[in-house]
């Protein structure tokens, strides 16, 4: 049985994804040769737009594995056929995010120094172990699912992956929570916040990829399955928004964070006001309220509404990360509380950041890596969910899978 698309379309899509990867690598080389002066980053904003893409993919990589965990660990039959695709997306997103992360930090060749001189007191060093461990555990998890004689170990491997991804996402949150050089980040809430955010972002990515694969193979997902996954996405989105609100309310409770919250929520001190616009309009409205209406409103719910809601959740995630990462750096560190500090180095001044083309290309290059790995993996191996689909026509069948 053949797919609705001819094989040439597969190779065309992979070629486009590879071109995106090459553009990202080329932009990284360009920034390496000319320095970060060709970007919008400064001495104060050292983590720019590429880090927004990288952190999103790493956090989503952890969350997308939640689909497999629900099936393997918690015994939900509906999710079990989706476990292999969930594992593939985890590895693909993690690879794309880490590529961007390493190339954006500068002197990526010195990763060998970090690998051979481990610093246990650094949270960044902890994450080196967490990322590599995640790849190994998920690879083992996939092996137990594909190898019939290893199926009896699938639940144990799934449990190990569940625990490890909780630890990994906690590590990502603590990178910011332990960063004393930026007062905007220091909060114990960031670890659980990133875990809940990973649930929403990962499931949104999974629903988008699943919809694309079903369309590619001329198939339609069973309505009951789609509605159940849509409701789950809505619960995750609402829970994430709740913790984001608690995070800001906690900051507002402390007097030392009042100016920062006014800067982020109201745009005080920021002539452009881009951070409140992205937070309220991009995340709160477009990335939370509208998806919840699309997912739970009886008149609007449907396949297209679910897909649109998932896409808006992803866009809202990028908007929130931009505010969180860039806004947290743009706001000046209050070294001497209660005093006004100024110098020729712009101490106490708000930094303005505008991403430039090389940063966009590097971030999109990581997305290209995830896309290429997913497309090739789905075509070569049996990652397509089975048993709960209907074909659009009698001749439709196995395509990229």
Model confidence pLDDT, tens digit, residues 153-205: 989 998 999 999 999 999 888 888 877 667 778 788 898 999 999 999 999 99
In a domain, 396, yes or no: no
Segment 303-322, tens digit of pLDDT = 899 999 999 999 999 999 99
pLDDT at 259 over 90: no
Q: Distance between CA 80 and CA 68 in Å, rounded?
A: 7
Residue 1 inside a domain? The answer is no
What percentage of the chain has pLDDT greater than the value 70? 88
209: containing domain: 7-391
Q: Ranked by mean pLDDT, which of 106-120, 245-259, 364-378 comes out on top?
A: 364-378
* Residue 398, in any domain of the structure: no
Q: Inform me whether the pLDDT recorded for 57 exceeds 70.
A: yes
Specify the 3-state DSSP secondary structure of 389. Answer: strand
Q: Is the dihedral of CA 88, 93, 198, 318 positive or negative?
A: negative
Where is mean pLDDT largest: 8-12, 33-37, 57-61?
Answer: 57-61
- Asked whether residue 397 is assigned to any structural domain, the reply reads no
CATH code assigned at 249: 1.20.1630.10
Residue 94 inside a domain? The answer is yes
How big is the chain, counted in residues? 401
pTM of the model: 0.90
pLDDT given at position 1: 36
Copy the structure tokens of residue 25.
Answer: 């690598």
Residue 2 belongs to some domain of the structure: no
Report yes or no: 73 and 159 within 8 Å, Cβ to Cβ. yes
Q: In the prediction, which pLDDT does 81 show?
A: 87
**230 is a domain residue:** yes
101: in domain:
yes
Give the torsion sign (CA, 68, 69, 70, 76). positive
Q: Is the pLDDT of residue 106 over 50?
A: yes
Q: Which value, in Å, is the radius of gyration of the alpha carbons in the chain?
A: 22
State the residue for tokens 């120094």: 113
Which of residues 90 and 45 earns the better pLDDT score? 90
Given a cut of 60, is residue 393 above it in pLDDT?
A: no
- Count of the separate structural domains present in the chain: 1
Three-state DSSP state, 187: coil
Residues 6+ apart with CB under 8 A from 355: 39, 40, 48, 49
Give the relative orientation of helices 123-146 and 83-104 as an angle to the nearest 10 degrees: 150
């Amino acid at each position: 049985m053949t797919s609705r698309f001819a094989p040439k379309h597969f190779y065309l899509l992979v070629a486009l994804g590879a071109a995106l990867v090459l553009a990202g690598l080329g932009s990284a080389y360009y920034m390496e040769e000319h320095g970060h002066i060709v970007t919008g980053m400064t001495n104060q904003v050292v983590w720019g737009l590429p880090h927004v893409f990288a952190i999103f993919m790493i956090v989503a990589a952890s969350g997308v594995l939640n689909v497999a965990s629900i099936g393997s660990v918690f015994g939900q039959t509906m999710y079990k056929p989706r476990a292999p695709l969930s594992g593939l997306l985890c590895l693909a997103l993690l690879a794309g995010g880490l590529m961007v992360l390493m190339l954006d930090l500068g002197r990526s060749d010195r990763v060998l120094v970090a690998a051979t001189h481990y610093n246990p007191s650094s949270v960044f060093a902890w994450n080196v172990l967490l990322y590599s461990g995640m790849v190994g555990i998920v690879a083992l998890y996939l092996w137990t699912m594909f190898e019939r004689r290893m199926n009896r170990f699938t639940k144990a491997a799934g449990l190990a992956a569940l625990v490890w991804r909780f630890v990994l996402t906690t590590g990502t949150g603590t990178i910011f929570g332990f960063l004393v050089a930026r007062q905007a980040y220091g909060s114990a809430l960031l670890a659980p916040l990133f875990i809940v955010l990973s649930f929403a972002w990962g499931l949104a990515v999974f629903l988008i990829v699943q919809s694309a694969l079903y369309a590619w193979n001329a198939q339609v997902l069973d309505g009951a399955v789609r509605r159940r996954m849509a409701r789950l996405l809505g619960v995750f989105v609402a829970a994430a928004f709740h913790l984001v609100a608690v995070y800001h309310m906690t900051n507002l409770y402390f007097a030392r964070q009042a100016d920062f919250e006014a800067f982020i929520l109201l745009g005080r001190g920021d002539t452009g006001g881009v951070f409140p616009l992205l937070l309220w309009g991009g995340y709160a409205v477009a990335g939370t309220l509208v998806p919840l209406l699309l997912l739970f409103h009886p008149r609007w719910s449907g396949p297209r509404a679910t897909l649109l809601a998932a896409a808006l959740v992803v866009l809202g995630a990028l908007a929130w990360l931009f505010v969180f990462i860039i806004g947290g750096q743009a706001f000046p560190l209050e070294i001497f509380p209660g005093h006004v500090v100024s110098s020729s180095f712009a101490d106490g001044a708000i930094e303005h950041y505008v991403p430039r083309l090389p940063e966009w290309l590097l971030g999109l290059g990581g997305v290209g890596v995830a896309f290429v790995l997913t497309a090739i993996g789905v075509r070569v191996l049996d990652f397509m969910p089975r048993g709960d689909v209907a074909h659009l026509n009698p001749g439709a069948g196995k395509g990229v899978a």
